[in-house]
């Protein structure tokens, strides 16, 4: 059955936002006696939403500060959301090549922040729907957000394909019954993508995979 809907992860798939996330995290945790994290350290932590990242960074001994740190993070990040964030090479060109298909974003970043990033980078115009961690009652790796998007579009899992850089994206897509594509240039090593139906090193290779399924 031809693919009619392409669902993308955001961070690590469409955009490289890790420096802004790292800077915001370090700002948020600085008053609580924590050493700054490197970009590489934060890249290994992200994926399940910023609250989960902050819980891991604080550890049990500082967990009581979680809500304060989350507030500090969100306040700072919303003001510096694309200071150092940019689309990966080939993203805009690939989205243009996919102009005949429905397209959606599912992020574990909050919906308003996801939209803000896409709008600031002139990517929002490519998408029919954007949902975040707070858009449905579950988030990736749950299939709930994937199924929500498919249902909203009036399509079926057989019509759809999920593209992401982490095992969370692949698991969400698999559980929803859609084809999955792992991208290796994001925040996760190739080893995390072994369950994907397809693995690509550059986003520009995506249209060829979709074409092969039609």
Task: Please give the positions annotated as active site.
Answer: 9
Residue with tokens 């992200």: 46
Q: Is the peptide bond before 141 cis (omega within 30 degrees of 0)?
A: yes
Inter-residue contact 178 to 153 (CB < 8 Å): no
Cβ-in-10-Å burial (0-12, 13-18, 19+) of 13 comes to buried
Report strand pairing: 15-16 vs 179-183: unpaired
Inter-residue contact 133 to 109 (CB < 8 Å): yes
> Could you give the CA distance from residue 28 to residue 152 in angstroms, rounded to a whole number?
36
């Amino acid at each position: 059955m031809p693919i009619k809907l392409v669902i993308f992860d955001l961070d690590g798939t469409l955009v490289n936002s890790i420096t802004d996330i790292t800077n915001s995290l370090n700002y948020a945790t600085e008053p609580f006696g924590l050493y700054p994290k490197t970009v590489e350290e934060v890249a290994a932590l992200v994926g399940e939403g910023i609250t989960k990242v902050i819980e891991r960074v604080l550890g049990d001994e500082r967990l009581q500060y979680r809500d304060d740190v989350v507030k500090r993070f969100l306040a700072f990040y919303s003001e510096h959301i694309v200071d150092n964030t940019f689309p990966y090479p080939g993203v805009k060109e690939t989205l243009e090549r996919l102009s005949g298909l429905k397209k959606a974003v599912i992020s574990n970043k909050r919906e308003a922040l996801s939209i803000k990033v896409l709008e600031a980078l002139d990517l929002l115009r490519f998408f029919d729907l954007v949902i975040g961690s707070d858009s449905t009652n579950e988030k990736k790796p749950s299939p709930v957000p994937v199924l929500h998007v498919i249902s909203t579009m009036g399509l079926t899992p057989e019509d759809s394909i999920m593209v992401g850089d982490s095992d969370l994206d692949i698991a969400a897509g698999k559980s929803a019954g859609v084809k999955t594509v792992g991208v290796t240039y994001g925040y996760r090593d190739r080893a995390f993508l072994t369950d994907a139906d397809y693995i690509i090193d550059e986003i520009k290779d995506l249209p060829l995979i979709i074409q092969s399924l039609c």
